[in-house]
Structure 1
Amino acid sequence: MFSSARRPPRRMAVRWAGAMALALAITGCVDGTGAGPDRGKADSISVLDYYTDEPEHTQWNEVLAACGRRAGVRVEHMSVPPASLVPRVLRQASSRTLPDLLMLDNPDLQQIAQTGALTPLDRYAIDTSGFAEGILSAGTYQGKVYGLAPYVSTVALFYNKDMLAEAGVAVPRTWAELKAAAARLTGPGRYGIAVDASATFESTWQFLPFLWSNGGHENQLDSPRAAQALQLWVDLVKSGSMSKSVLNWTQADVHDQFAAKRTAMMINGPWRIPELNKDENLHWGVAPVPVPRAGQTLVTPLGGEVWTVPQTSSEARQEKAAQVLACLNESPNMLTLAEQHFTVPSRAAVAARYAARNPSMTVFAESVRTARVRTGVLGVRWPRAATGIYTAIQSALAGEQTPDEALRDAQHVATSD
């Protein structure tokens, strides 16, 4: 779910001790991968991801090493910057030098699977039961599962409890309530709400709950329902309830505005919670993204990374990589990983237990049950639509075009060759 336009920025770290706890949990688990017998010899496997930040890189190094020990292999773990991952993988696919275990942001799986570089996971009898349909579809290409995510994420509405109480404002649940609340919460040095409307895929990600919950579709961006969703953002800026500076704000910037109490509400993800918790004087809550009208179903985008087994020259290493992948997705391990990174476990039953233990994550756990994968409709054509959407957001909020005009251009971008 963006850093370099494909996923939300890496979550802030929670505790170094968590990585060791996870390693111990994995070491003590019973092997249940179901993978077939080795055909050849494999003493080590290579792993590639984009977890370059600390302590996240070290945390993942620990879990991968622990799962490797269970599989009887040494793990050679490498992380590259997010923007470098897909270009690197495409080069490696053409030169047949892919790693044995590969992490991908879920919107990128379609592009890589299309090349034939990945192995369907049913070959290794990996357990995919208990995953919500939307979560499982994030790793699916042409009906076959190629990747599994130990955890996922989405976005929600964060609000300052003190500001809402002082203004006598209830937590907004609908668009009309959101506009009214944002107006009442706006005052000297403070806006009612902030979103990421930057010229990146981050703003597309934040806009999707408004588009999808209103019945808009990425394959018909020039529809009235899509225009209504964009008009909401335009109205918030025009009324002064939202700063025009959101055109340049990333999700990190939006967080900073909220933490500094310069905005009363924001759209953001659960990876911001560790930083918010550091300020004892900041009293915040989290609620679902408001829907157009009461009673409507909220549909949010599904964020998270999937782990895959590339096609390599060694069937033995592929099978060992599959065992490590299965280990990452076992229920106890995904629970610990989610607690480390403030994300939601991908198996529904685990997510329910997790939400009971972590109340601040309840809204996110509920939202991912109906969350939608971004590539579900357009597949490999999704990046074109995403580009059209954030370009339309920029144009409409800057006052250069009406939402209808901007989205007509977006539709052209989405469908152009």
Structure 2
Amino acid sequence: MKYRPLARSTAALAAAAALAVAAACSSGGDEADADTHTWWDPYPQHAEDSAWAERVDACGEEAGVTIERTASDTTDLTNRALLAAQEGTSPDIMLLDNPAVSTLADTEMLTTMDELGLDVSGVDENLLAAGVVDDQAYGIPIGANTLAIYYNADILTAAGVDPASITDWATLTDALAKVTGNGDKGITFAAIGTEEGSFQFLPWFWGAGADLRDLDSPEAVAALQLWTDWLDAGYAPNSVLTNSQNTTWEEFLTGEFAFAVNGTWQVNSAAEAGFATGLVQIPGMDGGAAPAPTGGEFIIAPAQADTDRYDVTRQIVECMTTPEGFVETATTFAYYIPPTAEGQEALLAAEPDLEPWVAAVQEAKGRTSDNLGTDYPKISEALWTAVQNALSGAATPADALAQAQSDAEAALG
């Protein structure tokens, strides 16, 4: 923390070394088939006959191979990837949640995009950063999602609130006072004691100018004080302490709340709500759009002993990451924003209503950016614990974050 070098523990170094040796022997299985490329992704909800599966198969056909696809949930996929590296059975291609890319890269089990011969210069730097370790890119984002503030237009109109007037924390708080004063509920968000809680707090944390290596800075305290003040004033419900992003959205869909912090993935649901909705960017403390954290997966290539396989891998990755490919992914999932200017332009030509989300993604920031890499999960846990302690009244924001800083430093050793 505090920008001082942090040595990894002996156990972590030993594990990384063991995985590096295993990765050097990985070949997609002991008897890798040149006509088949293995593919793992975190989308078990998309079956073999889904549009997504057909898209993956089409990229394999274009490269002249059959793709053998395996889908697992995000947490299981990361664990399976680490185990496969040890056993020498890594797939040729994976899609992995962006904060986990640095974890796998740290074990030396991934190829770099340079090694694959892929040019990443056109990828938005703020989105690519989550997969960059020591100036090397270990993957390409297939798209990105992020957070903004949905609003109930009927409630705002009744309270005389113009959403265009919400430009900073003060104007947002003033809007909350007006809607609650008019008899409606204010804002709901997810402050649950998990990564989702950190994910939703980060725009306010970064929007104050705070840094994840300095959790108890005055800027960080200001962000947590904002949320605490909203609960104390009745502008946000106590349910935020246990709200996931899904339950937050369920609260918003009741039509009782003026605002909800949620993500790109709720675009279709918002359009089908029983009331008129709109969107504003999460504001920075003193104005402008706050950087919100990026969600979404990277396409990565585990190291293979048979490097001849990389040529086909490169072709498949290229198929997935052309401007047309990015748009196809975006429309298949209904919420991904392409990570390149060309892809974003193509998406907006087809879906102009997504312009606010393109703007939000352009301002977004990877959670493992700023060279946090594998330090991020430990820092995040300390942060979400501080949020819980402050909002529950167990500690003041300043004391909660001071403890978080101490805990993070101890965890990072």
Shorter-chain TM-score tier: 0.7 to 0.9
**Against the structure 1 CA distance between its residues 319 and 200, is the aligned structure 2 distance closer, same or farther, given a 3 Å change threshold?**
same
Sequence identity percentage: 33
Q: Is the 8 A contact 2:152 2:276 kept in 1?
A: yes
Matched residue SS, 1:159? strand
* Structure 2 partner of 1:25: none
**Against the structure 1 CA distance between its residues 297 and 253, is the aligned structure 2 distance closer, same or farther, given a 3 Å change threshold?**
closer
* Structure 1 partner of 2:190: 196
The answer on 1:81 being equivalent to 2:73 is yes
The answer on 1:376 being equivalent to 2:369 is yes
* Structure 1 partner of 2:300: 308
1:157 to 149, 154, 157: 149
Give a deviation string over 1:26-63, Cα, whole Å, max 9, x none. Answer: xxxxxxxxxxxxxx971001111111124698332111
Q: TM-score, normalised by structure 1?
A: 0.86
Gaps spanning 5+ residues in structure 2: where? 1-31
Give a deviation string over 1:294-343, Cα, whole Å, max 9, x none. Answer: 3x452121221101111123223333222111110011010121123222
Matched residue SS, 1:192? strand
* Structure 2 partner of 1:180: 174
Q: TM-score, normalised by structure 2?
A: 0.87
* Structure 2 partner of 1:398: 392
Of the structure 1 ranges 334-343 and 216-225, higher mean CA displacement relative to structure 2 is found in 334-343
The answer on 1:226 being equivalent to 2:202 is no
Q: Is the 8 A contact 1:286 1:360 kept in 2?
A: no
* Structure 1 partner of 2:16: none
1:45 to 37, 43, 48: 37
| Shift, 1:413, TM fit | 2.2
Q: Is the 8 A contact 1:151 1:338 kept in 2?
A: yes
**Against the structure 1 CA distance between its residues 247 and 194, is the aligned structure 2 distance closer, same or farther, given a 3 Å change threshold?**
same
The within-5 A match list for 1:237-386 is 237-279=231-273, 281-294=274-287, 296=288, 298-341=290-333, 342-377=335-370, 378-386=372-380
- Distance in 2 separating the partners of 1:44 and 1:66: 13
Q: Is the helix fraction higher in 1 or 2?
A: 2
Gaps spanning 5+ residues in structure 1: where? 1-39
Output the amino acid matched with 1:193. I
- Distance in 1 separating the partners of 2:289 and 2:236: 25
- Distance in 1 separating the partners of 2:341 and 2:92: 28
Output the amino acid matched with 1:374. R
Give a deviation string over 1:181-229, Cα, whole Å, max 9, x none. Answer: 1122126984210110001111111111111121100000010100000
- Distance in 2 separating the partners of 1:212 and 1:56: 40
Output the amino acid matched with 2:367. R
Output the amino acid matched with 2:390. A
Which runs of structure 1 show a deviation greater than 3 angstroms over 4 or more consecutive aligned residues? 54-57, 187-190
Matched residue SS, 1:173? coil
* Structure 1 partner of 2:139: 147
Give a deviation string over 1:205-255, Cα, whole Å, max 9, x none. Answer: 111111112110000001010000011000111000100111111111111
Q: Is the 8 A contact 1:48 1:77 kept in 2?
A: yes
Matched residue SS, 2:109? coil
- Distance in 2 separating the partners of 1:187 and 1:54: 45
Q: Is the 8 A contact 2:52 2:332 kept in 1?
A: no
Matched residue SS, 1:51? coil
Q: How large is the RMSD of aligned CA atoms in angstroms?
A: 1.8
- Give the length in aligned residue pairs: 376
Matched residue SS, 1:67? helix
Q: Is the 8 A contact 1:381 1:414 kept in 2?
A: no
- Distance in 2 separating the partners of 1:84 and 1:327: 26
* Structure 1 partner of 2:5: none
* Structure 2 partner of 1:67: 59
Q: Is the 8 A contact 1:213 1:292 kept in 2?
A: yes
| Shift, 1:89, TM fit | 1.0
| Shift, 1:124, TM fit | 2.5
- Distance in 1 separating the partners of 2:162 and 2:49: 40
Give a deviation string over 1:376-406, Cα, whole Å, max 9, x none. Answer: 1211100011101111111100011011111
- Distance in 2 separating the partners of 1:57 and 1:373: 32
| Shift, 1:367, TM fit | 2.0
| Shift, 1:82, TM fit | 1.8
Q: Is the 8 A contact 2:387 2:400 kept in 1?
A: yes
